[in-house]
Amino acid sequence: MPRPEGSDGRGDPDALHAPTAPGSTASVVVLVSGSGTLLQALLDATTDPAYGVTVAAVGADRPCHGLERAERAGIPTFVRSVRDHSDRAAWDEALAADLAAHDPRLVVTAGFMRILGPRSLAVAPVVNTHPALLPSFPGAHGVRDALAYGVTVTGTTCHLVDAGVDTGPIIEQRVVAVEPDDTEDSLHERIKVHERELIVQVTGLLAREGFTVQGRRVRVGRA
């Protein structure tokens, strides 16, 4: 569902994103940059008609294994590389057109390693998963930074995307304990298990039941 012109979907108390009509499915576009394990979790979930979500397309900013997963599933793909455009604004405009062509109810960034610009963010609400308990440890090295800081728990966060880096309203979080002998890789692998579960859960809930954004709170359903 496209946002109203000039709205970022956060501060408007009337920013209701309606639920999917009974008997229909919500169209979602997934953006990836890497192996596509989060994407695969979504693809697996969509095989159940009760899930209520269809992946309409998968886009990437580079050739990657995630695109191969989509192609094997018969899902349309596209690549929109920043290097193919004169500047980031031109890339953002082109990416927005790619997204809008599929009329998505939601866009899911599943390991997508680019910051979306204002035009892309205006197409539909964007859901992201981050491997830390935001607002702590935002950015590309959330697992490494949490481990270096010496926390005893970290986790994963699903949030709506805004113009900042991992600063959008939080939808749901899962806690993961840090073990004394953890490395960045071992901790990240345990977090990924929860990330996959959470992105499937959150995407399905938002699509099926709709949601309202009030300030920094995301409320599932009409209430």
Catalytic residue among 102, 130, 159, 188: 130
d(CA 12, CA 214): 6
Cα-trace Rg, the chain: 17
116 a known binding residue?
yes
C-alpha to C-alpha distance for 13 and 35, rounded to whole angstroms? 37
Determine if residue 216 is labeled as part of a ligand binding site.
Answer: no
CA 59 to chain centre: 12
Active site residue 130: yes
Q: Any binding-site annotation on 1?
A: no
Would the annotation count 39 as a binding residue?
Answer: no
DSSP string, 106-141: EEEESS--S---HHHHTTS-EEEEESS-TTSS-STT
Q: Which amino acid is at 180?
A: P
Active site residues: 130
Which residue positions form the known binding site? 88, 113-116, 128
Which residue positions form the known binding site for (6R)-10-formyltetrahydrofolate? 88, 113-116, 128
